[in-house]
Amino acid sequence: MSAAPCDFSRIFSQAVKELAQFRRDPITVGLAFLLPLIALFLYGYATRLEVKGMTVAVINHDQGKLSRDYIDRLFSTNQMIPSEWTGSSPIEPLDRGLARATVIIPPEFSRNIKAGRLSTVQAMVDATDVNNARVIKNGIIGTTNFFIESEGLNKASKILEPHIRLWFNPGREESLYIVPGTVALVLWVFPSLLASLSLAREKEQGTILQLYASSMTAFELIAGKLLAYLTVALCEAVVVLLASFVFFGIRFVGSPVTFFVDLVLFAACAVNFGLLAGSVAANQNAAVQIVATVGFTTTLLLSGFIYPVRNITYPLSLISNVVPARYFIESCRDSFVRGPEPFSHWYIPVALIAGNIILLRLSSKKMSAMQLRG
């Protein structure tokens, strides 16, 4: 009988068995490779936070040329596009959802301007989408200012002249923001789902009884599964990263070494989280629910995937400090967009290592009895 505290050959054969099972189930394999790609494309292409194409209705009570110039100026970028509304009620297109804003140009607009009198342009903005509303408001104000200047109506209005340059992302490609985040999301959700299912299934189908009947320790069991699903996760990562490179033009800007270290640590974190969920859940359904509700939702919302971490209200912002994806997203963005000095953000691997240790201990402890409940 082996007296060693931890038997590596057992861990290894556990991992081999898990992988053999894994590749025989087409749904699980599809989940591991196909679904992450689908998610990548969906999030990468469809999630666009930048505001454009907002339909704006215009009610022009004036007939002069200046008003038409003003309107043209309004739609000169693609942020706002004209709506087909031709009625007279300003609120109706908003009510009916046909436009996001109505701009009302008062009568005598052109004449007043030429005469140097004040003209008020009214705008009613649908503020359901707060982000859009602000952008539209800024757009109208900006357009107005630009219009005033270009028509030479207010001399010397250029006092402070900003020359704005975008760092890292001169083309303002949205994908550069979303895709690294998607990579992190995808590598968090799917490995943890697979790992949790594998453990919950052993309990549900009773095959875990054979493990209890041997002298396998909880740590060997968890470590074996960790090894197997970490391998799967890394293969997933390769596939997803390749797709990002090919379809979204992502390139390494920072140090690849830092990135790969963080990647391995993060993937291990995901698998460990899944194993913890699997050890706690009574059956496979419950395991999926735990991963979906706790893992997916928190990662989606609190990791900086869509909206910056900085914006999260306290006390939820505290939770985001323990969401591993938050650190890995930062690592991704460092490596693919910012390119800071290598290992300057050392707190990322440290946090991930800490996460791994905690999760591993928790799940080993949960399984430590290696006996039937009763």
Partner 1 sequence: MTDSATIVYDSAAPSPDTVVRAKGLCKSYGAFEAVKAVDLEIRSGEIFGLIGPDGAGKTSIFHIMGGVMKWSGGDIEVLGTSPSQARPQIGYLTQQFSLYLDLSVEENIRYSASLRNVRREEYRERTDDLLRLMDLRRFKSRLAGNLSGGMKQKLALCCSLVARPKLLLLDEPTTGVDPVSRREFWDILATVAAEGVTIAVATPYLDEAERCNRIALIYEGRIKQTGTPDELKDSLHLERLEVRARRQAELAGILEKESRDLISDVQQFGDRLDILVADPASAQALVTGIGERLGIAIDVSRQRPTLENVFVHSLRKEGDEEQMPEFDFQRARRERNGETAIVARQMSRRFGDFWAVKGVSIDVGYGEIFGLLGANGAGKTTTIKMLCGLIGVTRGEMELCGQKGNLRSSSLRGRLGYMSQKFTLYDDLTVFENMEFYCGVYGISPDLRARRIAWALESCGLAGQESLITGKLPGGWKQRLAFGACVMHEPEVLFLDEPTSGVDPLARRQLWDLIRTFAQNGTAVLVTTHFLEEAEHCHRMAFMAGGEVVAQGSPGEIKAEQPGQLIELRAQPIQAAYLALKDSFESWRVSIFADRIHLVALAERDLDKASRIVTETGAKISSHRQIPFSLEDSFIGIVERAQMEVVR
Partner 2 sequence: MKPGKVILRSRLFSLIIKEFHQILRDKQLVSLLVVPPVLQLMLYGFALSPEVKHMRMSVVDLSSTPFSRELTAGVVNNDVFDLSNRADTISELSKQVSQGEIDLGMVIPPDASRLFKAGKPVPLQVLVDGVDANTAGIAQGYVTQILQELGRSLKGADREPPIKPQVTFLYNPGLTAAWFFIPGVMALVIVISGTLVSSVSVIREKDTGTLEQLLMTPAEPMEILAAKVVPLVMLLMGSVLLCLGLALSVFNIPLRGSFFLFMGVSILAIFVAVSIGMALATFSGNQRQALLTSFFINLPVIQLSGAIAPIESMPDLCRGISYLDPLRYYVSSLRAILLRGVGLESIWPEVLALAFFAVALFTLSASKFRKQLQ
Contacting partner 2 within 130-189 (CB under 8 A)? 130-135, 137-142, 144-145, 147-148, 153-154, 156-170, 172-174, 176-177
Alpha carbons within 13 angstroms on the beta-carbon side of residue 364 total 16
Output DSSP code: residue 320. G
176 or 211: whose CB is closer to partner 1? 211
Q: Can residue 17 be called a binding residue for partner 1 (CB under 8 A)?
A: yes
Q: Can residue 84 be called a binding residue for partner 2 (CB under 8 A)?
A: no
14 or 363: whose CB is closer to partner 1? 14
Q: Can residue 26 be called a binding residue for partner 1 (CB under 8 A)?
A: no
State the Cα–Cα distance between residues 334 and 331, nearest whole angstrom.
Answer: 5
Q: Can residue 256 be called a binding residue for partner 2 (CB under 8 A)?
A: no
State the Cα–Cα distance between residues 277 and 264, nearest whole angstrom.
Answer: 20
Q: Can residue 21 be called a binding residue for partner 1 (CB under 8 A)?
A: yes
Q: Can residue 207 be called a binding residue for partner 1 (CB under 8 A)?
A: yes
State the Cα–Cα distance between residues 99 and 58, nearest whole angstrom.
Answer: 10
37 or 370: whose CB is closer to partner 1? 370
The piece of 89-97, 201-209, 290-298, 346-354 that touches partner 1 (CB under 8 A) is 201-209
Shortest distance, CB of residue 159 to partner 2, whole angstroms? 3
207 or 344: whose CB is closer to partner 1? 207
Closest CA to 316 of 329, 303, 332, 306: 303
Shortest distance, CB of residue 70 to partner 2, whole angstroms? 8
Q: Can residue 317 be called a binding residue for partner 1 (CB under 8 A)?
A: no
Q: Which does 307 bind (CB under 5 to 8 A by kind): partner 2, partner 1, none?
A: partner 2
Closest CA to 248 of 301, 174, 184: 174
Q: Which does 206 bind (CB under 5 to 8 A by kind): partner 2, partner 1, none?
A: partner 1
Contact track, partner 2, 9-38, x by CB under 8 A:
------------------xx-xx---x--x
Distances (CA, A) of 171 to 174, 244, 246, 293, 330: 9, 18, 18, 36, 21
Q: Can residue 262 be called a binding residue for partner 1 (CB under 8 A)?
A: no
Output DSSP code: residue 370. -
Phi and psi at residue 61, in whole multiples of 5°? -85, -5
Asked if 187 contacts 236 with a C-beta cutoff of 8 angstroms, the reply is yes
Q: Can residue 122 be called a binding residue for partner 2 (CB under 8 A)?
A: yes
The piece of 57-65, 73-81, 209-217, 340-348 that touches partner 1 (CB under 8 A) is 209-217
* Residue 254, Ramachandran bin (φ over 0: left; ψ between -120 and 50: alpha; else beta): beta
Strand partners, 58: 103
Q: Can residue 239 be called a binding residue for partner 2 (CB under 8 A)?
A: no
Shortest distance, CB of residue 362 to partner 1, whole angstroms? 23
**Three-class secondary structure of residue 222 per DSSP:** helix
Q: Can residue 370 be called a binding residue for partner 2 (CB under 8 A)?
A: no
Shortest distance, CB of residue 369 to partner 1, whole angstroms? 9
State the Cα–Cα distance between residues 71 and 80, nearest whole angstrom.
Answer: 11
Which residues, at least 6 apart from 200, have a Cβ–Cβ distance to it below 8 Å?
A: 277, 278, 281, 282, 283, 284, 286, 287
Q: Which residues here bind partner 1, judged by CB under 8 A? A: 1-2, 7, 9-10, 13-14, 17, 20-21, 24-25, 205-207, 209-216, 371-372, 374
